[in-house]
Amino acid sequence: MMKQTEVGGTRKKVTNSLAIAALVVLFIAYMFPFIMVVINSLKQKRDIIKSPFSWLYTIKGLSFDNFVKAFTQMDFLNAFKNSLFVTVSATFLVTLLAAMLAYYIVRNKNVISGATFALMVASMIIPFQAIMIPLVSIYGGTLNILNHRLTLIFMHTGFSMAMSVFMFHGFVRGNVPIALEEAAYLEGCTHTQTFFKIVLPLLKPIISTMVILNSLAFWNDFLLPSLVLTDKKLLTLPLSTYSFYGTYSADYGTIMAGLLLCVLPILILYVVLQKQIIGGVVAGAVK
């Protein structure tokens, strides 16, 4: 009996060790491109071209000039302001409107709410590329409202509503007990007061999850802003990094530094909200 227990314990330790080793290898493989971006952002252009995969201790001429050049050339503060305004506004609108709509659909089971939810879920399979040209033609040629940040915010909100409503719908149905709402109604609360004072605080895990997912999508989006914004004063951070590419060449060191400057704010947001994000994902998975 003792030998069987020891064999089983040894086998479990070996299995766990192999699993940890596999995870470490996968982590290194996943992080390798990001590590290379960080390393090459500190090199000069000739060193990047000569040995892009070499480590810093093999390179002479390590410098932070790329970050200074990137900060100036991409007009970082203005681009950061534009990205922040668009991302915060679109994320706030998507989160609030999706939560309200999902709550209404869950609590009002009728033909209209069911058809609305079905259409929104079905719309998620339509690729953006399929409506890209008609969208630009209508908003640019017919309505002439392109090249405005508000137009970009409106588009971001619309394109993100379906997935957000789908996520909120599942969370409300599985994690918000209707008894709390009934108690609030007995105390004299209106539907609006019940939603904002009772239901909305219970949605904190899924709100944190959707905030980081939508913020990441809005912040890093290149295609839609490139179709909507053309004025240099309105460019977001991903669009501003395109200025580093020339007709026949590209300044790779500055590009790497610019990419890091773009990633840093959203990375900080993820670190701040990571506990809520994991909690929201786990809660949704369990339910």
**pLDDT per residue as tens digits for the range 42-64:** 887 777 777 777 765 555 656 78
Note whether 79 and 7 are same-domain residues: no
Residue 116: what residue type?
A: T
**pLDDT per residue as tens digits for the range 184-205:** 888 888 888 999 988 999 998 8
Strands (E), 152-277: none
CA atoms 98, 100, 106, 110: torsion sign? negative
Q: What is the pTM of this model?
A: 0.80
Tally of domains within the chain: 2
Q: Provide the token pair at 81.
A: 């302001």
Note whether 53 and 162 are same-domain residues: no
Q: Which of 38-47, 80-89, 228-237 has the highest mean pLDDT?
A: 80-89
Domain boundary among the residues 26, 42, 58 is at 58
Question: What's the pLDDT score for residue 150?
Answer: 92
Domain boundary among the residues 20, 35, 58 is at 58
Note whether 32 and 124 are same-domain residues: no
Report the distance separating Cα 14 and Cα 26, nearest Å. 18
Q: What domain range includes position 102?
A: 66-286
Among 32, 63, 31, which residue's Cα sits nearest to residue 46? Answer: 63
Domain boundary among the residues 58, 75, 93 is at 58
- pLDDT higher than threshold 60 for residue 144: yes
Apex CA 163: angle with CA 121 and CA 269, to 5°?
A: 175
Note whether 131 and 14 are same-domain residues: no
Note whether 71 and 37 are same-domain residues: no
Cβ proximity of 254 and 73 under 8 Å = yes
* Domain harbouring 122, CATH code: 1.10.3720.10
Q: Provide the token pair at 47.
A: 């060193």
Cβ proximity of 41 and 66 under 8 Å = yes
C-beta contacts of 144-148 below 8 A and 24+ residues apart:
146/227, 146/228, 146/229, 146/230, 147/228, 147/229, 147/230, 147/231, 147/234, 148/228, 148/234
